[in-house]
Amino acid sequence: MVKKETLLISLAAMCHDVGKFVQGCFDVPKDWIENNQSLYQPVYKGRYSHAHALYSVAFFEFNKGNFPDVLFSSELGEDNFLNLVGMHHKPETPKQWIIAVADRLSSGLDRDEFLEGQEIPVKQFKSTRLVPIFEQISIEEKKEFSSMSDFNWCYPLDTISSRSIFPKLKEEIVRDLEDYERLYEKFIKAIKILAHKDHDLFLWMQHFDSIFRKYTSFIPAARVGKVIPDVSLYDHSRTTASIATALYLFHKNSGSLDEKNIKGDGEKFLIIAGDFFGIQKFIFARGGEEAHHRSKLLRGRSFVVSLFCELACEMICDKLGLSPYSVLLNSAGKFYILAPNLPECIDKVKAIEEKINTWLIKMSYGETNLGLSFTRAKVSDFTAKRFSHLWQSVQQNIQEKKFNPFDPKHSCGVFSSYLDEFRNDLESPLCPLCGKRPSSEKVEGDKLIYPEGEGSSCIFCRDHIMLGTNLVKSDKIAVIQKSEDISFYKLNKRILEPIFGEYIVAFVKDEMNELAKKGVLKRFWSIRLQDGEIPEKICYLPLNGYVPTYSEKDMHDERLLLGRKSEKTALSLIDAIKEKEPKTFSHIALSSLEKDSTGKWLGVDSLGILKADVDDLGLIFGCGLPESRFTISRLYALSTQLNYFFSLYIPFILEKEEKFNDVYTVFAGGDDLFLIGAWNRIIELSLYLQKKFSEYVCKNNEIHFSAGITMVKSNVPIDIISTQAEQSLEKAKDAGKNCIFIFEQIVKWKYFEKLLSEKNKLYELIDKNIISKSMLYKLNEIVKMSESELKILEQDSSYTLKDISVLKWRSFLTYLSARNLRVQQKSELDDILIYLVKNIQKYRGNFKIPLWILLYSLRVYK
C-alpha cells in the first residue's frame, strides 16, 4: 500500500510549476496576493521574484472543489499540500526541501543553460514556444544550438493529439496572447470531470496525470532568460515528481529527513529497469491455429504483453510504496522505475520478479520472462554531464540481465505436472489454439470461441481471444486486484486467469465507483482516441493499436467471398459483420484485389508484413545530445515523443485514411512497428510513414527508420511470418539503414519513392496498351541481366564467357521493344526505349520493384 503522505509529496512535486501555465488565466483577489507573496516568493533585488510559485498555490486555493478533499485536510499542518506546492523557491521544512531539490535535479541542477545569444525577455514569456529536441539531435557532427535563431521548428501551444504532435516551421506558428487562457479554460473543465476524485487518491492521480500531460506537453518549462525552451512543463514536472518521491522515501526510511542530509550527495536512488524477454516468441507462438481466430489471438497476445508491463509497474509501485509518477518510462516491453536506494527495496523487487516469472512459466513454458535490473545512483549522477554516464550504466545492466535471465532453479522440475493437467474427457485435451497448453474444463465450449458451444481451449488462449475481440469494441478497461470483495461484481467481459495471479482485467461500461472506494480498482483506462483527440475523464492508455473490423459495407464486398464459397463460411461472415469483429487475415489479404474495366478481379490475395524500427536508437540516446544537455527531463521528453509517433499517430492515420483502413496493428509503440495489411496497401503505407516520420523529427536526416516488407499468403503460420519479417528488417539494417527491404532488394527511401513513381509511369504505358503484361515478364529478365552486368563490372575478375552474355541486355531490350511495343510512330518507340535503358541502367536490380508490383497487381485473380 502506498502511504497518503508519499502521494501528496509526489502530486505537489508534479504541480509545483503549474503557475507557469495558469498565471494570468484566472482572477486572483489582490488582497490574497498581498497576503501570500511574502510566504511563497523569494525577494531578489528588493522585489518579489518567481511569481509562478504563488500562482501554483492560487490555482489550488481557488479551485479546491475540483480536487480531492484529502489534499486540503487540516491535519497536515505546516506541510499542507499548498505549502508543498508553493515553497519550492523558499523551502523551510524537510518535505519542502525535498521538492526544491527534486526540481533542480530534474533539470540537471543547472536551471539556466546559458545561451550565447541574447536572452528571452520576461515580457515574452507567453509567446515563447516549445522547440523540438529532435532538431538538436546529432550523432555525427555536433550541431550548435546555442541561440534561439539556430532553431527552425517549434510546436504550437496546444493539447497533445494525433494531429498536434508534429512540429511546425517557426514562421508558420501563430502566437495569440489568448492561447494560454483558451488552453486553461479547457484544462479546468477537464479536471472538473475527472473520475474517482474522492474515492482513491492513487487512481485519481493517474487520471490527473493523463490530463496534465495532455494540456502541458507543449508549454515550455522555462520561458525567459538565457534558456533553451526545449523541455515541456509536463516533462519537467513528471520527472520532478518521480525524483521527489524516491528522495522522500529514502530520507524518511533511513532516518535522515532533515535539510542538511536532503541537500547532501549520496547514493539515494535505485533505478529499476524491467525488460520482458522473448516477447516476439510469445506473441507469434504457433499452435494448432484455428484460422479465423488468428487475428484476434495475435491482437490479444500483443495487448497482454503491454499489460504485463503496466501491471509489473503497478506491483512494484504498490509493494515499494511508490507513486504512479515513479514510473519514468514504459513502452515496447521495457520500463524504468525510480525508487529509493534502500536494502528492503531490492529484496521486495526480487520477490516480485520471482512471483511474476513463476506465473509466466505456467503461461508460456519459458518462452517469455521478466528481467529486472538495478542501478544505484547518486544525487550528483543527475547533474548534466554525468547523467549520460548513469544512463549508460542502466543500459549495460539491462544487457547483462539479458544474458543471465533465468534463476537456474526454474529450469528444472517446473513442467513435472504438465502431463497430469490433461483431461481426456474434453473434446480436445490439448488446446487447439496454442497447441501447447492443456485445455481447461472451465472454458469447454466457450461461446466466445465456439458459437455452437462445442470445442476446447486453454484458459490463456480463451483470455487472449477475449481481449483481442473486445479491444476493438470497448472504450474502457479496468484492472481489479483479485479479492473476495469483487465476486459480487458482475463482470461479463473479463479474463478468467488473473495476470500474475493478482490482476483481473475486464472491459466495463460504468465507472466502478464501489470498487474504487474499496481500493481494489488499480487501473482504469480509456483506450480509444476520439478522432485523434485524447479522451478525458479517466486515464488514457495508448495501447489499443488499430485493428480493421467488419462493417456494413463489407456485406456488399464480393471480394470477401471469393475463393470460399461454402454456405457456412458465408453465414459466419454475416455474423462477424454484425458483431463488428476483427477481420480475418484472409479477408485482409483479399482486400488487395481491384476490379478492371471488364469486371474481372485483378491481383494476388497476399498479405504484406511491415516491420520497422528507428535506426541507431542507442546512439541517439547515448550521444545525440551534447553531454551538458542530456538531463533526465530531456531523456524523458525524447523517449515519450518517439513513442507518440508510433502509439498516437499511427493508429489514428490507419483509422482515418480510407486506403489504410484494412491495415492491422500487431504492435506500434516505443520505436517500433509491426503491421499486417493487403500487400499493395502496405507498400504505399511504408513510404507514407517514412515521409511523415521525417516531418515529425524536423527533417533531421540523422533520425530515420528502416523497414522490411514481406509478402505472404494469409494461411502462412504466424511464427514464420514473424521470422521472415524480422529477417527482412535485418537485411535493411545490414545494408546501412535508412533503407527498405522488399522483393529481395534493398533501397534507400529516396530511391524507393522514385521507383514507385516509375511504377506509375509504366502503368500508364500498360493502360494505353503500349506495353503488354507479357512484355513485363520479359523486362524482368532484362533487369536481371543488367543486375548481373553490374556485378561483373564491380568485381572485374572471375567470370566466364557465359557470364558475359548478360552484357548484351541493351541490344536484347532494343530487339524486344521493336517487336513488342505497340506504338504508332518510330519516335515514340525511341522515347520509351531510352526511358527503359536509362532507368534499368540507373536502378539495376531495384527496377524489379516497380515491375513486380505491376506483375502482381495485374494478374487475373482465380
Give the residue with the Cβ less far from Zn ion, 431 or 762: 431
Which residue is associated with the grid cell 514536472?
Answer: 237
Q: 423-430 — which CB contacts under 8 Å span 24+ positions?
A: 426/456, 427/454, 427/455, 427/456, 428/455, 428/456, 429/456, 430/288
Least Cβ distance, residue 412 to Zn ion (angstroms): 24
Least Cβ distance, residue 340 to Zn ion (angstroms): 41
Q: Interior CA angle at 21 toward 18 and 22, to 5°?
A: 85
Q: Which of 205, 315, 316, 461 binds Zn ion (CB under 5 A)?
A: 461
Give the residue with the Cβ less far from Zn ion, 434 or 527: 434
User: Of residues 37-56, which lie at the interface with Zn ion (CB under 5 A)?
Assistant: none
Confirm or reject binding of residue 434 to Zn ion (CB under 5 A): yes
Confirm or reject binding of residue 476 to Zn ion (CB under 5 A): no
Confirm or reject binding of residue 718 to Zn ion (CB under 5 A): no
Query: Reduced to 3 states, what is the DSSP secondary structure of residue 440?
Result: coil
Least Cβ distance, residue 382 to Zn ion (angstroms): 46
Least Cβ distance, residue 434 to Zn ion (angstroms): 3
User: Of residues 306-365, which lie at the interface with Zn ion (CB under 5 A)?
Assistant: none
Confirm or reject binding of residue 304 to Zn ion (CB under 5 A): no
Point out which span in 100-108, 139-147, 432-440, 486-494 binds Zn ion (CB under 5 A). Answer: 432-440
Q: Which of 233, 307, 384, 433 binds Zn ion (CB under 5 A)?
A: 433
Rg (Cα) of the chain, in Å, rounded? 30
Query: Reduced to 3 states, what is the DSSP secondary structure of residue 395?
Result: helix
Instruction: Tell me which amino acid residue 323 is.
Output: S
Give the residue with the Cβ less far from Zn ion, 433 or 589: 433
Give the residue with the Cβ less far from Zn ion, 230 or 367: 367
Confirm or reject binding of residue 285 to Zn ion (CB under 5 A): no
Least Cβ distance, residue 845 to Zn ion (angstroms): 44
Closest by Cα among 680, 613, 670 to 643 = 670
User: Grid coordinates standing for 479?
Assistant: 484492472
Q: Which of 160, 219, 228, 431 binds Zn ion (CB under 5 A)?
A: 431
Least Cβ distance, residue 359 to Zn ion (angstroms): 16
Least Cβ distance, residue 480 to Zn ion (angstroms): 24
Sequential DSSP letters for 155-208 = --S---BTTTTS-EEGGG----TTHHHHHHHHHHHHHHT-TTTTT-HHHHHHHH
Give the residue with the Cβ less far from Zn ion, 433 or 478: 433
Point out which span in 12-20, 196-204, 453-461, 611-619 binds Zn ion (CB under 5 A). Answer: 453-461
Point out which span in 153-161, 460-468, 553-561, 617-625 binds Zn ion (CB under 5 A). Answer: 460-468
Give the residue with the Cβ less far from Zn ion, 157 or 434: 434
Confirm or reject binding of residue 437 to Zn ion (CB under 5 A): yes
* Binding-residue pattern over the window 65 to 94 for Zn ion, x denoting contact by CB under 5 A: ------------------------------
Cα→Cα distances 568→34, 76, 407, 556, 571, Å: 79, 68, 50, 17, 5
User: Grid coordinates standing for 391?
Assistant: 544512463
Q: Dihedral angle at the C-alpha atoms of 258, 263, 265, 268, nearest 10 degrees?
A: 50
Least Cβ distance, residue 733 to Zn ion (angstroms): 34
Give the residue with the Cβ less far from Zn ion, 20 or 296: 296
Starting at the edge strand found earlier in the chain, the sheet holding 476-481 runs 493-494, 503-508, 476-481, 521-526, 539-540
User: Grid coordinates standing for 24?
Assistant: 494570468
Point out which span in 134-142, 457-465, 732-740, 783-791 binds Zn ion (CB under 5 A). Answer: 457-465
Give the residue with the Cβ less far from Zn ion, 328 or 431: 431
Q: Which of 191, 398, 458, 609 binds Zn ion (CB under 5 A)?
A: 458
Closest by Cα among 497, 526, 498 to 511 = 526
d(CA 105, CA 379): 8
Give the residue with the Cβ less far from Zn ion, 431 or 529: 431
274, β-bridge pairs:
335, 372
Least Cβ distance, residue 433 to Zn ion (angstroms): 4
Least Cβ distance, residue 464 to Zn ion (angstroms): 8
Paired sense of beta strands 705-713 and 739-742, if any: parallel
Size of the site for Zn ion (CB under 5 A): 6
Least Cβ distance, residue 461 to Zn ion (angstroms): 3
Query: Reduced to 3 states, what is the DSSP secondary structure of residue 667?
Result: strand
Least Cβ distance, residue 570 to Zn ion (angstroms): 28
Least Cβ distance, residue 290 to Zn ion (angstroms): 10
User: Of residues 104-133, which lie at the interface with Zn ion (CB under 5 A)?
Assistant: none
d(CA 522, CA 745): 49
- What lies within 8 Å, CB to CB, of 632 at 6+ separation is 105, 106, 108, 239, 243, 328, 382, 387
Paired sense of beta strands 493-494 and 369-377, if any: unpaired
Give the residue with the Cβ less far from Zn ion, 433 or 504: 433
d(CA 681, CA 660): 7
Give the residue with the Cβ less far from Zn ion, 499 or 577: 499
- CB burial of residue 728 (10 Å; 0-12, 13-18, 19+): buried
Give the residue with the Cβ less far from Zn ion, 203 or 434: 434
Q: Are 505 and 495 in contact (CB under 8 A)?
A: yes
Give the residue with the Cβ less far from Zn ion, 15 or 431: 431
Give the residue with the Cβ less far from Zn ion, 58 or 461: 461
d(CA 862, CA 860): 6
Give the residue with the Cβ less far from Zn ion, 458 or 853: 458
User: Grid coordinates standing for 353?
Assistant: 520478479
Point out which span in 70-78, 164-172, 429-437, 840-848 binds Zn ion (CB under 5 A). Answer: 429-437
Least Cβ distance, residue 467 to Zn ion (angstroms): 14
Confirm or reject binding of residue 207 to Zn ion (CB under 5 A): no
Closest by Cα among 166, 339, 168, 194 to 267 = 339
Q: Interior CA angle at 612 toward 606 and 615, to 5°?
A: 155
d(CA 52, CA 237): 14
Confirm or reject binding of residue 466 to Zn ion (CB under 5 A): no
d(CA 676, CA 610): 6
Least Cβ distance, residue 440 to Zn ion (angstroms): 9
Instruction: Tell me which amino acid residue 18 is.
Output: V
Point out which span in 311-319, 427-435, 592-600, 601-609 binds Zn ion (CB under 5 A). Answer: 427-435
Give the residue with the Cβ less far from Zn ion, 36 or 295: 295
Query: Reduced to 3 states, what is the DSSP secondary structure of residue 557?
Result: coil
Least Cβ distance, residue 448 to Zn ion (angstroms): 13
Give the interface with Zn ion as residue ranges (CB under 5 A). Answer: 431, 433-434, 437, 458, 461
